[in-house]
Amino acid sequence: MEDDVNQIKLATHVLALAREKSLKIATAESCTGGLIGGSLTEIAGSSDVFDRGFITYSNEAKIEMLGVSKNMIEVFGAVSIQVVREMAEGALAASNADITISVTGVAGPGASDLKPEGLVWFGLARKGFEAKTEKCKFGAIGRHNVRQATVMHALRMIEASVEKPITAN
């Protein structure tokens, strides 16, 4: 319950910051299945800031909706820095947003040695700035907890970008 309250507070703050600077937000989500967009749209009046969300759970959706290179997925896998960057940049190109956040990861189960449970890649693209990526290793904390931690981290990345635009990785 406390986590829900913190998430709502953070989402409300992110929306207020973006609204103040007349910025629109879009999401491109794989492992969270729309939870980031859901947290933003939980707040009444969010439609003036939240443009759209792309739920690209399958590789085909990443390719078709966001223009992610099939070759990138084949070479590096869907859970990779290369794919998450293309997801964020593709969402920016396919939306009316000024800032996009993308996530791809292993919420669990189904991890491997190379891509363990709790590994999540984040991408953030903003018009006029170089895209940024981050990797988090939340650990084997369970599917629900990995997804919730991912939402909070994504919201914090948007918050940081609105407060002080990113310049490089």
User: Residue 5 has what pLDDT?
Assistant: 87
Higher-confidence residue of 5 and 77: namely: 77
Is residue 138 in a domain?
yes
Residues 151-158 have a mean pLDDT of 98
For residues 65 and 130, give the distance between their C-alpha atoms in angstroms, rounded to a whole number. Answer: 21
- 111 occurs within a structural domain: yes
Residue 46 belongs to domain with CATH number: 3.90.950.20
Q: Kindly state the helix (H) or strand (E) to which residue 169 belongs, with its residue range.
A: none
Order the strands of the 50-55 sheet from edge to edge: 50-55, 25-29, 99-105, 119-126, 132-137
* 153 assigned to some structural domain: yes
**Residue 168 falls within a domain, yes or no?**
no
Q: How many CB atoms lie within 10 A of CB 24?
A: 18
Range of the domain at 135: 2-163
pLDDT in tens, 23-57: 999 999 999 999 999 999 999 999 999 999 999 99
Confidence of residue 139 (pLDDT cuts 50, 70, 90): very high
Total number of domains constituting the chain: 1
Inside any domain, residue 9:
yes
Question: Is residue 104 a part of any domain in this protein?
Answer: yes
pLDDT at 163: 87
Using left for φ > 0, alpha for ψ between -120 and 50, and beta otherwise, residue 50 falls in beta
Q: What is the pLDDT of residue 2?
A: 67
The 3-state DSSP class for residue 141 equals coil
* 91 located within any domain: yes
**Does a structural domain hold residue 169?**
no
Please indicate, yes or no, whether the overall pTM of this predicted structure exceeds 0.85. yes
Q: How far apart are the first and last CA of the chain?
A: 34
